[in-house]
Structure 1
Amino acid sequence: MSILVIAEHDNAEIKGATLNTIAAAKAIGDDIHLLVAGANCAAASEAAAKIEGVSKVLVADNAAYEHQLAENVAKLVADLGKDYSHILAPATTTGKNMLPRAAALLDVQPISDIIAVEAADTFKRPIYAGNVIATVQSSDTIKVVTVRATAFDPVAAEGGSAAVESVTIAEDAGVSTFVGEELAASDRPELTSARVIVSGGRGMQSGENFEMLYKLADKLGAAVGASRAAVDAGFVPNDMQVGQTGKIVAPDLYIAVGISGAIQHLAGMKDSKVIVAINKDEEAPIFSVADYGLVDDLFKVIPEFETKL
């Protein structure tokens, strides 16, 4: 039973979510192949070969895959995937964009956002914003699956010695072109990989007030997130959003500041190991999932907290 995992990378490094996805693949079987599709991606493929549990690395190095356009990579995955029992990708923006297209080309039903592997054909996934866990069994000959990275402990990035094999297929679907990208530069960790996250909600009242959280985060070595309410109000950009329609996170410590705790937000962070909530409303739903709660004015508490660190 061979499993194909789609690596998420930037042509130089393998993204952390790939390691979690390989862990999910190991719960299915032992023969795991990792696809690195990119351009000038030798560094990424070398890193891929060292990952624990990977038996073979397939490298599709072609200009058509430089920016990993979903339409192009999906055609490649569909062509290669016919020889595999399972195809897995991280349930990130990239994976969720590409893998359903590959499933459609293979004429199978994708299974999204799994959090556990029960058997080779049976998986658990959250529904209703995580309030219900569905057990899904697939009879498709090829199981196409996206993996919630926070649900699986990552495999080691070092220690493997996989064979590297070049893939000559060059698929340019011709229906999309790369125009440009604007990358936010920050010295803080990425939300999805941070061990500590400080998040702000509508209670922050303005984007300027998020400066308090930035200072606190810098002292804690933390990432900064936000609720959908704060994003919709224009306080911060949407790449900071944590929640069902944002980023799913599970850090060691999650500090929720001025966040009421709508079900959409809780779905994205309730798996955090320790949750601290600061809110002046003692009836706020966030306290139902918090390990520690402080009912107080955040504009008084956060500056005091920051000065004592």
Structure 2
Amino acid sequence: MTASNQVLVVAEHDQVSIRTATLNTVAAALQCGAEVHVLVAGHDAVGAAKAAGAIGGVARVLHADAPQLANGLAENIAAQVVALAAGYSHILFPATSAGKNVAPRVAALLDVAQVSDIVRVMSPDTFQRPVYAGNALVTVQSRDPVKVLTVRATGFDAVAAVGGAAQIETRVAVADSGLSTFVERVVAKSDRPELGDAQIVVSGGRALGSNEKFTEVLTPLADKLGAALGASRAAVDAGFAPNDWQVGQTGKIVAPQLYVACGISGAIQHLAGMKDSKVIVAINKDPEAPIFSIADYGLEADLFDAVPQLVDAI
């Protein structure tokens, strides 16, 4: 197998299972016309390696297991990727916070340019990515011997998580770089779906006025719909919602089946994070709110009246 038809996808995982964004990244890798290999770098991550082997379209899983890879420290993961990079024409990462942390280091170590946030593979060396908060697409051609790409999950339909039977091969783990140390991970626990993976998202803006109103008005609707909760940057900056709920250019990029925007005006930065949603419902009392320009269904009403009525009607 030559380098021209081998692609390496760096999996995002929790040692046991593979995160959904990896499935979208594999879809992008397959469009490069290549044999797709997946790297699972972690510690006691046999479960994640087996899950990677079951992904549709994956030909081989490379499993590097060591304590220094346990917490996804960017310096160690990047070194592991570079150690395995020989023979690959493309190295792909999900465009998540973890992927964006590691990919630039890999590109720098390989002395190549990174192509970020691709949403379309036009040919093995030509890609499309959004610019100007998603208002335009630019076509980028890379002549580097290795293409280092981050993949925007909303641009590619996820491949099947089961049905594959890839061979799992053990690879020697790199030594600890000593450049960084894992201190603590604080994980917000919730019974709700993860925002980035949710099929339905209920999102609120600054118009809600307070953290209490955010919870009082939107939580019953999210409960009825089985939805994740999201927020605009304005609502997060005002302290109405936690940072990990932020949807937008500087937050999370989501593309659920249904996105319900309550009291969100629709600033360009917010639209960049959710405009690929399949169905968008907007509730806003301002008839000139930009959100209505992309909404499939718009309700010009006071959210404090409309949302409780909607909850009662469901």
Does the alignment reach a TM-score above 0.5? yes
Q: State the distance in 2 between where 1:50 and 1:271 align.
A: 28
State which of 92, 100, 103 in structure 1 corresponds to 2:104.
Answer: 100
Q: State the distance in 1 between where 2:87 and 2:235 align.
A: 46
Q: State the distance in 2 between where 1:183 and 1:126 align.
A: 30
Is 1:169 the counterpart of 2:146? The answer is no
Superposition pairs for residues 87-166 of structure 1, below 5 Å? Answer: 87-166=91-170
State which of 299, 302, 309 in structure 2 corresponds to 1:297.
Answer: 302
RMSD: 0.7
Match of residue 208 from structure 1: 212
User: Where does structure 1 lack aligned partners over 5 or more consecutive residues?
Assistant: none
Question: What is the CA-CA distance between 1:18 and the residue it aligns to?
Answer: 0.4
Q: State the distance in 1 between where 2:86 and 2:68 align.
A: 21
Question: What is the CA-CA distance between 1:213 and the residue it aligns to?
Answer: 0.8
Asked if structure 2 preserves the Cα contact closer than 8 Å seen for 1:41 and 1:61, the reply is yes
Q: State the distance in 2 between where 1:306 and 1:210 align.
A: 15
- Cα deviation 1:15-65 (Å, max 9, x = unaligned): 010000000000002311000000000111111111111110000010010
What amino acid does structure 1 have at the position aligned with 2:7? I
TM-score, reference length from structure 1: 0.99
Is 1:232 the counterpart of 2:237? The answer is yes
Question: Helix, strand or coil: the match of 1:268?
Answer: helix
Is 1:261 the counterpart of 2:239? The answer is no
Asked if structure 2 preserves the Cα contact closer than 8 Å seen for 1:112 and 1:145, the reply is yes
Alignment coverage as a number of residue pairs: 309
- Cα deviation 1:233-275 (Å, max 9, x = unaligned): 0111110000001000011110000000000000000111111
Q: State the distance in 1 between where 2:183 and 2:31 align.
A: 39
Is 1:274 the counterpart of 2:285? The answer is no
Is 1:308 the counterpart of 2:293? The answer is no
Q: State the distance in 2 between where 1:171 and 1:302 align.
A: 54
Question: Helix, strand or coil: the match of 1:192?
Answer: coil
Is 1:82 the counterpart of 2:83? The answer is no
User: Where does structure 2 lack aligned partners over 5 or more consecutive residues?
Assistant: none
Q: State the distance in 2 between where 1:126 and 1:255 align.
A: 24
State which of 58, 62, 66 in structure 2 corresponds to 1:62.
Answer: 66
Question: Helix, strand or coil: the match of 2:185?
Answer: coil
Q: State the distance in 2 between where 1:56 and 1:64 align.
A: 23
Match of residue 218 from structure 1: 223
Ranges of 4+ aligned residues in structure 1 off by more than 2 Å: none
Question: What is the CA-CA distance between 1:81 and the residue it aligns to?
Answer: 1.2
Q: State the distance in 1 between where 2:137 and 2:223 align.
A: 36
State which of 285, 288, 304 in structure 1 corresponds to 2:290.
Answer: 285
What amino acid does structure 2 have at the position aligned with 1:30? A
Match of residue 248 from structure 1: 253
Question: What is the CA-CA distance between 1:82 and the residue it aligns to?
Answer: 2.4
Q: State the distance in 1 between where 2:74 and 2:174 align.
A: 14
Is 1:52 the counterpart of 2:63? The answer is no
What amino acid does structure 1 have at the position aligned with 2:160? A
Q: State the distance in 2 between where 1:176 and 1:169 align.
A: 17
What amino acid does structure 2 have at the position aligned with 1:24? A
Question: Helix, strand or coil: the match of 1:208?
Answer: helix
Percent sequence identity is 61
Match of residue 182 from structure 1: 186
Question: What is the CA-CA distance between 1:181 and the residue it aligns to?
Answer: 1.1
What amino acid does structure 2 have at the position aligned with 1:76? Q
